[in-house]
Amino acid sequence: MSLNFELLEEDNIKVSKNTYYYDYDDGSAEDMIQEIMETAQFSDLNELTIGSWGDPCGESCQAIIDAIVENADKFSHIQKLFIGNMDYEECEVSWIIQGDYSKIWAAMPQLKELTIKGSMELELGDNICHEELTALTIICGGLPKDVIESIQKAKFPKLKKLLLFIGIDEYGFDGDADTIKELLEHMDFPELTYLGIANSEIQDELTEVVLNSKFMGQISVLDLSSGTLSDKGGALLLEKIPNYPNIKKLDLHHNYFSDEMVKKLQALPIEVDVSDQEEVDIYNGEVYMYPILTE
């Protein structure tokens, strides 16, 4: 059972399929977290999803994070946490002001899945150690290098899924292919089975980095979706993937493949998602390709 809080235009509470939506037109992050703790159904839940906290483009979610830390006993039953679940009509992803999660790890030792949307002012902390986390997803238009370095140093012995939206430099990604290479070389997640390095404007370069990483021999799902993957990256996949029978699925949706490359990839003896095939833009002789999520 999950609880989903977000801003709505309606004035009343709506209840549907065990998901509860509360109106916060005139509220704030402080109001929202207080309402969460006072909700009668809250103690029966194991999943909490937080959407807009009133003004996510002008106010960070720090009050929400701090309240969870300060009232850790009240949140001890929450195993799945998603902060920032909102669409562009509420706030563009690059404008969502996140917060500092460095104290959340100790406050929620039972947490199994954490999803964060937005990367402005996002901090995960140094020397993270969490024994139970199995999934970490960060959805953003640009992932800062210091956040990547925090993940690189983290100890998540039970982590099975890592999905990172890399994004572009205009909206926060201040690294390059070597940044991701270093991440994959140094991060130590022995149980990882799902690796997602997605939503990049240098997706072909990152594909080469991932295909040469130590995780290729242990993962079952490789997610290189949502970026600018072209026939160059596709050719690398056709060459390397047959060497790894452990890989059962390739997620390559939102791509810039030719029709011929799509057919070749679909012929691989595994599940391959090559949907959302895009066409390049050409302007003044220059070729432009875009990740699915930037601003």
pLDDT at 15: 32
Q: Which two tokens stand for residue 190?
A: 């022995």
Distance CA 118, CA 90 (A): 13
Is residue 19 pLDDT above 50, yes or no? no
pLDDT digits (tens, 9 = 90+) for 34-57: 888 888 888 888 999 999 988 899
pLDDT at 33: 86
Q: Classify burial at 80, counting beta carbons within 10 Å of its beta carbon; exposed 0-12, middle 13-18, buried 19 or more.
A: middle
The sheet carrying 80-83 orders its strands as: 2-5, 47-50, 80-83, 113-117, 135-139, 161-167, 194-200, 221-223, 249-251, 271-273
pLDDT at 12: 28
More confident call, 100 vs 40:
100
**Residues facing 3 on adjacent strands:** 48
Cα dihedral sign for 152, 154, 158, 164?
negative
Is residue 13 pLDDT above 60, yes or no? no
pLDDT at 20: 46
pLDDT at 174: 94
pLDDT digits (tens, 9 = 90+) for 218-247: 999 999 999 999 999 999 999 999 999 999
pLDDT at 3: 53
Confidence of residue 5 (pLDDT cuts 50, 70, 90): low
Where would I find the beta strands (DSSP E) of the chain? 2-5, 14-16, 19-21, 47-50, 80-83, 113-117, 135-139, 161-167, 194-200, 221-223, 249-251, 271-273, 281-283, 286-288
**Which pTM does this prediction carry?**
0.91
pLDDT digits (tens, 9 = 90+) for 140-199: 999 999 999 999 999 999 999 999 999 999 999 999 999 999 999 999 999 999 999 999
pLDDT at 121: 97
Distance CA 10, CA 24 (A): 10
Region of 156 on the Ramachandran plot (φ > 0 left; ψ -120 to 50 alpha; else beta)? beta
